[in-house]
Structure 1
Amino acid sequence: MAPPRYKQLVDTLAAEIRTGQLPPGTRLPTHRQLATKQRIALVTATRVYAELEAMGLVSGEPGRGTFVRNTSLPPGLGIDQQAAMAGMVDLNFNNPSLPGQSALLRDALRQLAASGDLEGLLRYQPHGGRPHERAIVARHLASRGLNVPGEQVLIVSGAQHGLAVTAMALLRPGDVIATDALTYPGFKVLAQAQQLELLPIPGTASGPDLAALAQLCASRRVRAVYSMPTMHNPLGWVMSTAQRQQLVSIARRHELLIIEDAAYAFLVEQAPPPLAALAPERTVYVSGLSKSVATGLRVGFVATPAQWVAAIERAIRATTWNTPGVMTALACGWLDDGTVMRLEAEKRQDAKSRQSLARDILAGRPYISHPASYFLWLPLGEEVRAEQVVARLGEQHVSVSTAEPFATTAHVPHAIRLALGSTAPDVLQQALQKVKQAIDYYTY
């Protein structure tokens, strides 16, 4: 039996998209135009586009139409795996590294090998880390304005794992979480896996629209707010002390759990106090060493109110049992001897240098960033399709991300996010010039 007529049309359009006959950014006929052209009912045309959208091949935008998506982006994530290809310049992921870090690792491994505690590192560790290591992390957090006892610090396998165990321990499927309209993609993936509903908070030039957050809490049963107050990813804002106090006031009024993501906070000197310092009774603070030291060093920290320690420890046990002893010992050694603090200072300068380079190359084109961040946000305006720019850059062996993985709203803005920390400065300079040329190509 032949498949239904609309199924045949879905298959035909899907094949044309996948083979490039309909390239990324192509505006498809309106539902009515498709119905007329294919001699099908309007409701059937709507069903065709709905299936293509469910397959991740097109995106519909109210008032603008239906467009072909960049199918090189894995469904549901939007992170371009082309970056792994030989010769591809990665402006998608941040992997900030400094000259000499491999030598630091060799020295640290030698010191670890000469220590008298190797046998203990081969055994299971306490789920939240050994007490003396938790105390080391607590001292590190104190240097960032967060004074918390070691007993309330849990060592995890990176900040993403910290977010995951926090969600597993403290949230339930169906819970509503308020988060920025543009937010960290890893939290979006986590929310989907945990069946959490994300409620977007509109943004302003300097941070989230907290009046809008208050209105959301008044109209919906919001369980928690996920926030990046210090070096927001991808917009780079740093919330003022007044903004943080206002957010805390809203959280207390509506009994919200606050999840504070501080993965990039090390890039901000003399930052306002963490949310966890302003509302220690309801804030879980999550950070790690992936960006400040190395992405391969999967060691992170969760600082939590005492009443939630046991629940988060159970989630650690259910996922990894404990952070590997060797990794934790290495990380804590660097925290204790000042290596992490030194690397953080050097990376702040490195990020400033890369931002300066981007500012020179992108002169005249509006973008959003922080002068010490490893990323920037390039709005494209209504005349330029992000998918077209991404596809064109892909042909030139430059990998960038659209706004899709960051957006929690139904309408995805046309913008690209550039990660500046994964390539050598000379390679970055050439890649940024290609970015500007690609945008100009579709603008003028």
Structure 2
Amino acid sequence: MTTWLPDLKSGDGPLYVRLAGRIEDAIETGDLPSGAKLPPQRNLAFDLGVTVGTVSRAYSMVRERGLVSGEVGRGTYVLERPDDEIRPATTVRHVPAAPTGDRLQLPDAAIAMTSTAAADVGQGGLIGEIIGKTSVESGYAGIDYIRSVPRSWQEAGSLWLGHGGWSPDPLLVIPTLGVHAGIMAAIAAISTIGDRIAFEELCYPATPRAVSMSGRRVARLKSTPDGIDPEDFEHVCAQQHPKAIVLVATLNNPTLGTVSEENRVRIVEIARRYNVWIIEDNIYGGMKDDAPTPLASMAPERTFHLNGLSKSVSAGLRSGWISCPPGTLTRVVNAHRLLTGGAPFLLKETAARLVLSGEAARIRSRVRQIIARRTRMADDLLSNANPDVEVRSDPDCPFIWLTLPDPWLPGTFGKAAREAGVVVDGADEYKIGAINYPCPNIRISLTGPLSDAKMERGITALADLLSSPSLNFDSLE
């Protein structure tokens, strides 16, 4: 264990802010290198002469900055940095995975099962043709930023966002640089610095981190196998008064939680009673024909509904759409422009043509076929590897959520997988702060740049690990 001990005598602000700053400085200078374990909170509090609460708040702050990860019973560890040298596995005591979106450069031979971008079904050639044709036909607009939003882009967005018999008014739809940019634009449009934004405590981490960086505060909602619990949502609304809730109501990333029709009605009722905006990310739900009713169809006056092309057609097009509640569209347009610097006409026009021609839907159908086939194969291999393995999957979802059998923990399993040439995401990647219950899970992605052959080799390697009772776990700590 590290003997690092910070000096809090100098500096501005509360003690917990100073301590968080000292931890960040130590990580920058290498005094706390990648993989280093921070002192236990009670020990550090005693050594510094501060309360455990002060240390806990500091640890939470650096965790939200994406610098460390922690799990109950294991401690808090410094995450690897993109520019860190990858050391031989035998010399590393603990190697947590890098945060999503900030990954290490991996060896070419590694099988990275971490991306949920659309699988390759040959769409690149078609997209290239459309881009070329669009560039020629658009004249100067083809090499410019967006100056205005054509009605065709709004109609394409309404078509792509529509689900289960519902579709938004095209006049309330605008294109975005992907779903993440649209969510941030909505948050900027309806909140201000200091406001709380509620997220499920296990979710795609980039968005709550971006929210924290923007000066908003994150409120956590308990994760359940069926998505957020309405009772917990009401408790958070009554106690913390969030301005908005951001949720993936269908196929949450990473748990695959899907909110039932009954609970959707309750969530909408609570949001209305406490005057909370709803930001509904349907990036995975849009892949399912039989997904539950969108929240936007239940509460159009307060729901921002988003979907894009990244998981089903092409991540490289950076294209999505957001439907806005009446009276908010202009604010979202301005916020999106200020946050992103402006979107390229060429990509937005290409995305609209793909959707309006029906080609986007046909590509999505082929991508779903690949996901369904790979899901069946992964389910069979992993479930048969160990009777104590729990595999949560869906034939339309490009990842699975695996509950590890004892004595595996996400950190030790991730390290063993990496030594076997496979990279997966542990539960730590998706936690918003500390979670007060065991979370022995990993997320395994089935799409991205993986070929069928590489994907099968990766799943087979993971299954071999799960079926190896003689593995020396002590050597992995």
Q: TM-score, normalised to structure 2's length? A: 0.79
Give the equivalent residue in structure 1 for 2:103. Answer: 81
Give the equivalent residue in structure 2 for 1:402. Answer: 426
- 1:328-357 per-position Cα deviation (integer Å, ceiling 9, x unaligned): 111111111100111111122211111111
- Equivalent pair of 1:83/1:92 in contact (CA under 8 Å): no
- Equivalent pair of 2:372/2:395 in contact (CA under 8 Å): yes
2:458 alignment partner, SS class:
helix
Give the equivalent residue in structure 1 for 2:443. Answer: 417
Match of 1:386 among 381, 390, 410: 410
Give the equivalent residue in structure 2 for 1:377. Answer: 401
Q: Please tell me the root mean square deviation across aligned C-alpha atoms, in Å.
A: 3.5
Structure 1 pair 255–57 and aligned structure 2 pair: CA distance change class (3 A): closer
- 1:242-291 per-position Cα deviation (integer Å, ceiling 9, x unaligned): 22111111111111100000111222112222111110000011211111
Structure 1 pair 415–125 and aligned structure 2 pair: CA distance change class (3 A): same
State which drifts further: 358-367 or 232-241. Answer: 232-241
- Equivalent pair of 2:114/2:425 in contact (CA under 8 Å): yes
1:353 alignment partner, SS class:
helix
Match of 1:112 among 117, 134, 140: 134
Task: Report whether the alignment pairs 1:359 with 2:365.
Answer: no
Give the equivalent residue in structure 1 for 2:259. Answer: 239
- 1:355-399 per-position Cα deviation (integer Å, ceiling 9, x unaligned): 111101111311323232111112336732322222222233322
State which drifts further: 301-310 or 183-192. Answer: 183-192
- 1:385-433 per-position Cα deviation (integer Å, ceiling 9, x unaligned): 3222222222333221122231124127332211111211221111122
- Equivalent pair of 1:58/1:66 in contact (CA under 8 Å): no
List alignment gaps of at least 5 residues for structure 1. none
Match of 1:71 among 69, 75, 80: 80
AA aligned opposite 1:404: D
- Equivalent pair of 2:160/2:307 in contact (CA under 8 Å): no
- Equivalent pair of 1:286/1:303 in contact (CA under 8 Å): yes
Structure 1 pair 244–48 and aligned structure 2 pair: CA distance change class (3 A): closer
Structure 1 pair 76–214 and aligned structure 2 pair: CA distance change class (3 A): farther
Distance 1:390 1:421 in 2: 19
- Equivalent pair of 1:182/1:407 in contact (CA under 8 Å): yes
Distance 2:326 2:160 in 1: 19
Distance 2:367 2:167 in 1: 24
Alignment of structure 1 residues 83-232 onto 2, 5 Å:
84-113=106-135, 115=137, 117-126=138-147, 129-142=149-162, 145-232=165-252
1:98 alignment partner, SS class:
coil
Task: Report whether the alignment pairs 1:337 with 2:357.
Answer: yes
Q: What's the % identity of the aligned pairs?
A: 23
1:321 deviation in Å?
4.9
- Equivalent pair of 1:80/1:399 in contact (CA under 8 Å): no
Structure 1 pair 231–31 and aligned structure 2 pair: CA distance change class (3 A): closer
Give the equivalent residue in structure 1 for 2:14. Answer: none
1:222 alignment partner, SS class:
coil
State which drifts further: 367-376 or 281-290. Answer: 367-376
Structure 1 pair 429–216 and aligned structure 2 pair: CA distance change class (3 A): same
2:280 alignment partner, SS class:
strand
The number of residue pairs the alignment matches comes to 427
2:140 alignment partner, SS class:
helix
State which drifts further: 49-58 or 166-175. Answer: 49-58
Structure 1 pair 203–51 and aligned structure 2 pair: CA distance change class (3 A): closer
Distance 1:152 1:79 in 2: 30
AA aligned opposite 1:66: G
State which drifts further: 132-141 or 146-155. Answer: 132-141
Q: TM-score, normalised to structure 1's length? A: 0.84
Distance 1:366 1:150 in 2: 42
- 1:69-128 per-position Cα deviation (integer Å, ceiling 9, x unaligned): 55368999355623554222121122222332122123323432553x33333444345x
Distance 2:4 2:369 in 1: 60
Distance 1:401 1:5 in 2: 28
AA aligned opposite 2:286: F
Task: Report whether the alignment pairs 1:320 with 2:340.
Answer: yes
List alignment gaps of at least 5 residues for structure 2. 8-22, 84-96
AA aligned opposite 2:426: T
AA aligned opposite 1:392: A
Give the equivalent residue in structure 2 for 1:432. Answer: 459
Structure 1 pair 68–119 and aligned structure 2 pair: CA distance change class (3 A): closer
Distance 2:57 2:194 in 1: 25
